[in-house]
Structure 1
């Protein structure tokens, strides 16, 4: 009996949702972001919150990220808004150092999803395109939340119309 297939490496098992919901190709173990950094206007509420209150958006992203790390989905839309992460980011941002904190958060998100990039790019985007960078992170996290059967816990959930329509009394 002859076998024509050769053994090949498989990706390690992941618990929870899909960390590559759009099935983007991996090159050298890394992939691109699911959404471009300047696609931020496709999630306008998150973009606006990130523009005027970046500490709120940063804290929310970190709370959602931490919930996914524990195999859960953050279902409380207020979780992370007033947290150690959001306060530290807010204070650092007031002193012009928010880019350093944003760089770290972006690096964590890239690491979880095996996204191509480097610390210098993370820093540049966090400093120069902070709202777009935070929105891009939020959308990446949201894709994993959706793969777990949750509509996503980003700010865009507030713009989604309720399912089933209005009920008549």
Structure 2
């Protein structure tokens, strides 16, 4: 585990489509990120709308993405990213999933 994220935390505009979707409908992006790591898209998308539950769910999904991709980091850094810049963290996760060999946000 020593890899880095493909896109930086503030690389939101690397994929303008994901950026716009995530800004206006973050629960959709979160649901698709959750689905990519094996969780329920609908349940996680709804969980993202509930205060405090959204933080817990976001920590779980971000951790799973890091584990699957072999990205270094920990729960504390994930927590700080999610609290300080939730939209940027969400977009970074979506771009990581969609990266080379990753899934797209579109229904397949």
Identify the TM-score tier after normalising by the shorter chain: 0.7 to 0.9
Where does the alignment leave 5 or more consecutive residues of structure 2 unmatched?
none
- How far apart are residue 100 of structure 1 and its match? 2.4
In structure 2, the residue matched to 1:14 is none
Q: Structure 2 vs 1, CA of residues 141 and 47 (structure 1 numbering), >3 Å: closer, same or farther? A: same
User: What TM-score, normalized by structure 1, do the two folds share?
Assistant: 0.56
**Aligned residue-pair number:** 107
Q: Structure 2 vs 1, CA of residues 65 and 97 (structure 1 numbering), >3 Å: closer, same or farther? A: closer
- How far apart are residue 116 of structure 1 and its match? 0.8
Where does the alignment leave 5 or more consecutive residues of structure 1 unmatched?
1-28, 68-78, 147-151, 158-169
Among 68, 71, 74, the residue aligned to 1:118: 74
User: What TM-score, normalized by structure 2, do the two folds share?
Assistant: 0.83
In structure 1, the residue matched to 2:45 is 86
Once superposed, what is the RMSD of the aligned Cα atoms? 2.3
Which has more radius of gyration?
1
Distance 2:82 2:31 in 1: 14
How does 1:48-63 map onto structure 2 within 5 Å? 48-63=20-35
Task: Please state if 1:153 is matched with 2:104.
Answer: yes
The answer to whether the 8 A contact 1:64-1:153 is kept is no
The answer to whether the 8 A contact 2:22-2:29 is kept is yes
Distance 2:54 2:38 in 1: 20
Secondary structure in 1 matching 2:7: coil
